[in-house]
Amino acid sequence: MAYIEKEINRKVGRAIHAYSLIEDGDIILAAVSGGADSLLMLHFLCAWQKKAPIDFDVLPVYLEMGYNRQGTWQVLREHFEKMKLPFYLEETQFGRRAHGHENRGKSPCFLCSWNRRKRLFELTQILGCNKIALGHNLDDLIETFFLNMLYSGEMSTMLPRQEMFKGVLTLVRPLALVEKYRIEKLSRILGLPVSTNNCPSASKSSRNHIRNILKGLYRQNSKARANIARALFNLRPEYLPGVLPRT
């Protein structure tokens, strides 16, 4: 095992133990998009499945968003078969509808992700899963924090573990403590079949704007990413004014 794989495995293990991401008897729907994040998440879920002292199942699911990525469809099918995993593939038009005339004024990114999330929720019931594993990483948590602060006026971000529908379903993010650049590097080393994101809004979203601002900050201060990440997990509520009383 390469050093970087050991380092990421250590961080995944830390997240699993700290937030109880995987428990005995879990049937985990692994939401795979074809990107490096979700493919590497699946890689580590399967690795932990083999060595963890508990029993749990992993079911990769891929939703085609309507951009005719048949190449991705076939590549992922072959990848899942090579891993000897049961899997589920489904074609949708979520992406195209979000960018079409049906979308009346809403953000294409919001509508597309909302529909994808809704369908994943439905599939957990159909496929008998109790958890959904998402490939969000540490940089996603940082970007979401700044997005919510700048565009929604609140200090919040994604959670490594999030209970939904009064605990009926749980979202887990095994890569929540792992930096994006490490994920991309290891995915290349492992030769994972990473596909290109064909979404026409991929480079125009508010998230991408925040990402570019943060990249500039990281270039100016090499410790900025680590310090922001540390701040997310090192809250000092006694030094925050809290909710402003209504007058």
pLDDT category at 234 given cuts 50, 70, 90 is: very high
Distances (CA, A) of 186 to 5, 39, 172, 205: 7, 11, 21, 26
Report residue 199: phi and psi, to 5°: -65, 130
Residues 6+ away with beta carbon under 8 Å from 19: 160, 161, 172, 176
pLDDT category at 96 given cuts 50, 70, 90 is: low
Mean pLDDT of 63-83: 85
> What per-residue confidence (pLDDT) applies to 105?
62
The pTM score is 0.92
What number of helices (H) and strands (E) belong to the chain?
9, 6
Answer CATH for 3-239 from 3.90.1170.50, 3.40.50.620, 3.65.10.10, 3.50.50.60: 3.40.50.620
6 or 243, which is more confident? 6
Residue 143 pLDDT exceeds 70: yes
> What per-residue confidence (pLDDT) applies to 100?
62
pLDDT category at 67 given cuts 50, 70, 90 is: confident
> What are the structure tokens assigned to 54, written together?
């508990």
Residue 102 pLDDT exceeds 70: no
DSSP letter assigned to residue 158: -
> What per-residue confidence (pLDDT) applies to 61?
97
Angle at 11 between CA 7 and CA 16, to 5 degrees: 145
C-alpha–C-alpha distance, residues 245 and 27, integer Å: 44
> What per-residue confidence (pLDDT) applies to 110?
75
6-60 pLDDT tens trace: 999 999 999 999 999 999 999 999 999 999 999 999 999 999 999 999 999 999 9
> What are the structure tokens assigned to 5, written together?
């794989």
Residue 139 pLDDT exceeds 90: yes
Task: Name the percent of the chain lying above pLDDT 70.
Answer: 90
152-162 pLDDT tens trace: 999 999 999 99
Mean pLDDT of 78-83: 96
> What per-residue confidence (pLDDT) applies to 69?
59
Supply the DSSP string of 53-112, one letter for each residue.
Answer: SS--EEEEEEEE-SS--HHHHHHHHHHHHHTT---EEEE--HHHHHTSTT--SS-HHHHH
Amino acid (one-letter) located at 66: G
Pairing of strands 131-133, 169-172: parallel
